[in-house]
Structure 1
């Protein structure tokens, strides 16, 4: 027999009130979260708790449905190399979310499991159910109401209130090294945090990366709820349309050459740049706004270079 479960995370602000959940059916699911965390931390914790909740049935195979490429790659590709290097990445920088990753590494020992990527927000029944519960937990922390934790796994150990609510390391929104969505190389060595313009430039580069575009949650975490874009064909596209387009047909990795990076105030940055890839060059402008400590892309326009 194979246990099939979906695992998902949610963060309202990324970082912000965060939730996680795994789901098998309406009688078998669990959720939790923290007052402040990131989407990737929620994704990790959902998988951790699923493995820990099923530890008493180790003879069963576990098939994890997950919409996070970050989590899937961490488990199936990156962790062995990180461990050999003392939990450091190829460039020598420390691995993010170390406590959660070590806990996940311990949880999968001796287990037979597979991961299957599923597209988020695309009508997949189990993924939608996990997403709904993860967001419900995050919303409960945001509203300071009771968190719906679910029935858990039948016959499993009784969950201690603190066992699934270990608060991850604090996240400072302006720090490139402390947010998974930032590019590590964009932060000056030894600097405690980077400026708004530098942060925005790092985020814009990450948004144009194929790895980010392959994960709908990673794209969504960078876009303002009222995001709007004028594309090269003169069409107006909203947030959902851009997320759908990028995740279905990710762009090739490209080089961004900044032209203008200006702070228009404490919470607004205007950015213009040239984007070059094997597909050609284009000119772009973006307006970023800081909302509850997180920089989000509010408006974007692009056109082919003549």
Structure 2
């Protein structure tokens, strides 16, 4: 038998009041949150709580529907390398959300699971239900009222307050409140479908099963190829067939890319950044597309105010946008080269220089 559940997270402000939720059906779901956290933390916590809530049925296969590539790739691709490096990334910096990831690694030990990427906010019933509950939990913490925790999983047990990770341990320097424990319900959620694949974590030297493939769609693709194919239709209305002049459209897309909600959405940045994108940052660091997308997914930053200095068309398929950005540390002069790629404007090159 297979338990199919959607897991999702939400953060108002990112970071800000945050929520998480997993959902099987109306009689089987759970949600919680913190006064201060990030969207990624909510996404990870939703999966972690689902694993804890189903720990009493380890023989049941888990099919986890998730709209976060950060979560899927962290668990199925990056975690083994991070562990070998002492929970550090390829550049030697500590892995973000490491306590959550360590807990996930422990809970995955011996479990049979698969992850399936679903497009967020696209009408998928289970994903929408999890998103609604995660957002409601974040809103409750924002308003200082009690968040609905949900009925939980039948027969399941979830650790009380002391067992939940606090935002202070999740790379967010703020006090937090643990999520309420789940309450059992009397009805068994529907489950069905064949075993797709097996996988597991590794803790205490226990044998580890072969990690599950995320889905056939993700096999033999680079990290973001599937996102490009699936997410490009998001831009159809604003790009293809648009009557807006290229200069104005590029300015609109640049402003969109500067917003934290878009920057934290790896599917949307996959649309906006050209496959050969490169940036020379104001610090002098050179960024590739994959490195930039992963960095933005982990820390989308705050909204940036800008003053457009110019937008100049270069031939028929390129626009050079120059502008000044404002931050607490000062102003930066920036230039972005947008090119027409398959009927869509995508950012090919960006450079920032601190203003004297």
TM-score over 0.5 (shorter chain)? yes
Match of 2:80, SS state, is helix
| Cα offsets for 1:216-260 (capped at 9, x unmatched) | 99xxxxxxxxxxxx7727556796xx888766686314123579x
Tell me the residue number matched to 1:268.
305
CA distance in 1, matches of 2:160, 2:268: 42
Match of 1:283 among 307, 320, 333: 320
8 Å CA contact retained: 2:23, 2:129: yes
Tell me the residue number matched to 1:26.
26
CA RMSD, Structure 1 to Structure 2 (Å): 3.9
CA distance in 1, matches of 2:45, 2:157: 17
Mapped pair 1:70 → 2:70: yes
Number of corresponding residues: 236
| Cα offsets for 1:18-74 (capped at 9, x unmatched) | 000000000000000111011100000000000010000000100000000000001
Gap change, CA 1:249 and 1:3, over 3 Å in 2: farther
Which structure 2 residues correspond to residues 1-306 of structure 1 after superposition, within 5 A?
1-157=1-157, 159-164=159-164, 166-167=166-167, 168-171=169-172, 214=227, 232=246, 234-235=248-249, 251-257=274-280, 268-270=305-307, 282-285=319-322, 304=339
Match of 2:155, SS state, is coil
CA distance in 1, matches of 2:120, 2:58: 28
CA distance in 1, matches of 2:54, 2:38: 25
Offset at residue 273 of structure 1 (A)? 10
8 Å CA contact retained: 1:17, 1:34: yes
CA distance in 2, matches of 1:28, 1:78: 30
Gap change, CA 1:69 and 1:273, over 3 Å in 2: farther
What TM-score does the superposition give when structure 2 sets the normalisation length?
Answer: 0.57
What TM-score does the superposition give when structure 1 sets the normalisation length?
Answer: 0.65
Tell me the residue number matched to 2:194.
none
Unaligned runs of 5+ in 2: 174-222, 232-243, 257-261, 283-302, 312-316, 329-334, 341-356
Offset at residue 286 of structure 1 (A)? 6.2
| Cα offsets for 1:114-145 (capped at 9, x unmatched) | 00000000000000000000000000000001
8 Å CA contact retained: 1:284, 1:302: yes
CA distance in 2, matches of 1:159, 1:118: 29
| Cα offsets for 1:64-97 (capped at 9, x unmatched) | 0000000000110111111111111112111111
CA distance in 2, matches of 1:57, 1:3: 10
| Cα offsets for 1:181-233 (capped at 9, x unmatched) | xxxxxxxxxxxxxxxxxxxxxxxxxxxxx85994999xxxxxxxxxxxx7727
Match of 2:275, SS state, is coil
Q: Which has the higher strand share?
A: 1
Offset at residue 302 of structure 1 (A)? 7.1
Gap change, CA 1:81 and 1:256, over 3 Å in 2: closer
Offset at residue 8 of structure 1 (A)? 0.3
Match of 2:31, SS state, is strand
